[in-house]
Structure 1
Amino acid sequence: MPLLICPNCQTGMNEVQRNGVLIDICPKCRGVWLDGGEMEKLLGQVRQYEQEYEAELERYRKQYAPPPTHHRNPYDTDDDEYYKRHGKKKSKLGRLFDLFD
């Protein structure tokens, strides 16, 4: 006889062990019931996996990071610097008056 009845469909729940934690699962609606402390155990395992993943990702980034480049990106310059090199862009009307110069 099951220890818990599913509050959703009133079916007896099965106790299953996942990652060292006993949880109750409804075979009919697949609902999950966590007793006190089970959520903390599962979240602790998730945090541990996240820390391991972040450490491995950092090691990978250090090992395979592209070498630093010293090239200037022309799109990162200020507008003032662009106008100093290329002059201010003239409007169509301004170009029309250049005919008379």
Structure 2
Amino acid sequence: MPLLICPNCQTGMNEIQRNGVHIDVCPKCRGVWLDGGEMEKLLGQVRQYEQEYEAEIERYRQQYAPPPTHHRNPYDTDDDEYYKRHGKKKSKLGRLFDLFD
């Protein structure tokens, strides 16, 4: 006989164990019921996995980090900076209209 009745569909809930936490699940509507402290246990496990994942990413970055780049001239590839320094090249028609300025 089930310990809990699903508040949604009034069906007896089954108790299962996942990662050391007892969870009550409704077989009909798939609803989940967590007793006191079970959510904190699950969240603690998630935090632990996140910390391990971040540590692994940091180890990977340290191992495969690109070498530091030396001075890079930003004007080499940036056309906007070139036009700021030299001005955009005008066409012959544009030069003609400069006569009226």
Q: Give unpaired runs (5+ residues) of structure 2.
A: none
SS of residue in 2 equivalent to 1:61? helix
The unaligned stretches of length 5 or more in structure 1 are: none
Question: Equivalent pairs: percent with the same residue?
Answer: 95
C-alpha deviation, 1:68, in angstroms = 1.8
Q: Give per-residue Cα distances to partners, 1:54-82, cap 9 Å, x unaligned.
A: 00100001101111222526479999963
- Report the Cα distance in structure 2 between the residues aligned to 1:97 and 1:69, rounded to whole angstroms: 46
Matched, 1:17 2:56: no
Shift of the 2–100 alpha-carbon distance from structure 1 to 2, 3 Å rule, reads: closer
CA shift for structure 1 position 32: 0.4
RMSD between superposed Cα atoms in Å: 3.6
Check whether the contact 2:9–2:29 (CA below 8 A) recurs between aligned residues: yes
TM value normalised by structure 2: 0.78
Look up the SS of the partner of 1:75 in the other structure: coil
- Say which SS state the counterpart of residue 96 (structure 2) adopts: helix
User: What corresponds to 2:97 in structure 1?
Assistant: 97
